[in-house]
A = this chain, B = another copy of it.
């Protein structure tokens, strides 16, 4: 039987935009956080315009149906996992780059634009959209905005929110908010764009974004260095920070990752090394060469086993390839639970050692790969899910790593988001007053609790997790 709100949605958006076949909707129920809880969508809706999204939110409000916005589904925290009985609102059809303005160095895009498509669209103007999550060739800008995505570039160029000038957002009740501006500076009222960025679809549905661009980076110079101890690696990162060097990329892999990548790529990596650093400068010309030479000197002073630099971009890509293949290589060792803890940059060595201790205590393999330059680490627990004991220990190790991050003054999520997997940890990290403020803002903007319920934090009231069957009359 078709519920009345599905009929209303089909009338408003057209039948081809409203999918209810369970075999089809199941394909939209999950993101890449394979072990996160997910429900079953009552309908999957694919809007083509802002007006379509308005119609969806009006119907949802009228019938009290929850709505879970999502993009391509590349998320790693279950932020866009389906909620039983809810609408999953898939933004991928709204995929136009509406404007590129070299004179104001900005682009206006719809949320379904793939990150790489935006990068390609602005490259022809000599421009650059920096945020580069690993999934940049298939993740969407809307998802990037919702989770405030980072990537490899953050050490020099910051994260998604640093590029957001203006947003169009459809609110829970269907009103259209346009907020922000096309100017570089502006302080007229509260910074609403940055409130929506990173809110994981709990406050509104982003339907358009005006994004700042940068001049294209220059030809990179690359460094790779290996170390016998994590303390040496930590010392390099600390000296990079204190010396004022700003590489465009500064990545680290631990011994587990080095061995896994070497097994996959046959790249002749030093399997005895305890850590491998890969860095780049994109400052161009002699400046880039000088920056990388200064970094090489810091590595040598810290006692690096091996330091190699190159100004050949192709060779640089090969060195980076080792870093990029770390997660695929770890996946060959078992099912992976990818954590996402960020620590103050001065605590990186302590964090790497702590992850080793967790692996030993839990009797599991944990490979750590991360953005050393900004302290955002991805310890990845590898395990056999068919082994109940291993599975339980893997979850325990995942929690140990969050605990370790907090104990070092860090955060439970640097760039993946809270989603469905870290709700308890979020409440632990931010504490009761901040939780109350989150709830107050959520109640102010989404009083019925329709948008992505149960994600990020729990609401205070019983409206928390609506009894959907009851609300929708099914």
Partner-B contacts on A (CB < 8 A): 101-105, 126, 147-148, 150, 154-155, 159, 161-162, 171, 175-179, 181-192, 194-195, 197-199, 203, 214-216, 238, 241-246, 283, 286-287, 342-346, 371, 374-376, 409-418, 422, 425-426, 429-431, 433-434, 436-438, 440-441, 443-445, 456-457
* Number of chain copies forming the complex: 2
Q: Which residues of B contact A101 (CB under 8 A)?
A: 346
B189, B197, B433: the one within 8 Å of A177 (CB): B433
Given contacts A345-B103, A345-B104, contact A411 B183 (CB under 8 A): yes
A344-B375 in contact (CB<8A): no
Q: Which residues of B contact A192 (CB under 8 A)?
A: 434, 437-438
Given contacts A342-B186, A414-B186, contact A179 B242 (CB under 8 A): no
Shortest distance in angstroms between A139's beta carbon and chain B's nearest beta carbon?
15
Q: Which residues of B contact A103 (CB under 8 A)?
A: 238, 241-242, 344-346
A412-B184 in contact (CB<8A): no
Chain B, Cβ-Cβ closest to A376? B185
B198-A441 in contact (CB<8A): no
Q: Which residues of B contact A187 (CB under 8 A)?
A: 147-148, 198, 411, 413-418
Q: Which of A103, A150, A375 has the most CB of B within 10 A?
A: A103
Chain B, Cβ-Cβ closest to A425? B188
Q: Which residues of B contact A371 (CB under 8 A)?
A: 185
Bound CA–CA A411/B165 (angstroms): 12
B190, B416, B444: the one within 8 Å of A198 (CB): B190
B409-A182 in contact (CB<8A): yes
Bound CA–CA A417/B215 (angstroms): 29
Bound CA–CA A417/B238 (angstroms): 38
Bound CA–CA A159/B415 (angstroms): 23
Q: Which residues of B contact A194 (CB under 8 A)?
A: 161, 191, 194-195
A433-B343 in contact (CB<8A): no
Given contacts A216-B244, A434-B177, A440-B445, contact A418 B183 (CB under 8 A): no
B244-A182 in contact (CB<8A): no
Given contacts A191-B194, A246-B215, A457-B189, contact A342 B177 (CB under 8 A): no
Q: Which residues of B contact A431 (CB under 8 A)?
A: 178
Chain B, Cβ-Cβ closest to A155? B184
Bound CA–CA A418/B346 (angstroms): 39
Q: Which residues of B contact A445 (CB under 8 A)?
A: 437, 440-441
Q: Which of A189, A417, A430, A443 has the most CB of B within 10 A?
A: A189
Bound CA–CA A198/B434 (angstroms): 19
Chain B, Cβ-Cβ closest to A345? B104
Given contacts A183-B344, A375-B183, contact A178 B242 (CB under 8 A): no
Q: Which residues of B contact A417 (CB under 8 A)?
A: 187
Can you name 16 extra interface pairs (CB under 8 A) apart from A101-B346, A187-B198? A103-B242, A104-B346, A105-B345, A126-B244, A183-B414, A185-B371, A188-B411, A188-B422, A188-B425, A188-B426, A189-B430, A189-B438, A190-B203, A192-B437, A195-B195, A216-B244
Given contacts A126-B244, A190-B195, contact A184 B374 (CB under 8 A): yes
Q: Which residues of B contact A181 (CB under 8 A)?
A: 342, 409-411
A-B CB contact pairs (8 Å), 18 listed: A103-B242, A103-B345, A104-B346, A105-B241, A150-B185, A175-B436, A181-B342, A181-B411, A185-B415, A188-B425, A189-B434, A194-B195, A283-B287, A286-B286, A437-B445, A441-B441, A441-B444, A441-B445
Chain B, Cβ-Cβ closest to A441? B444
A162-B159 in contact (CB<8A): no
Q: Which residues of B contact A150 (CB under 8 A)?
A: 185
Bound CA–CA A426/B155 (angstroms): 35
Given contacts A179-B434, A242-B102, contact A412 B444 (CB under 8 A): no
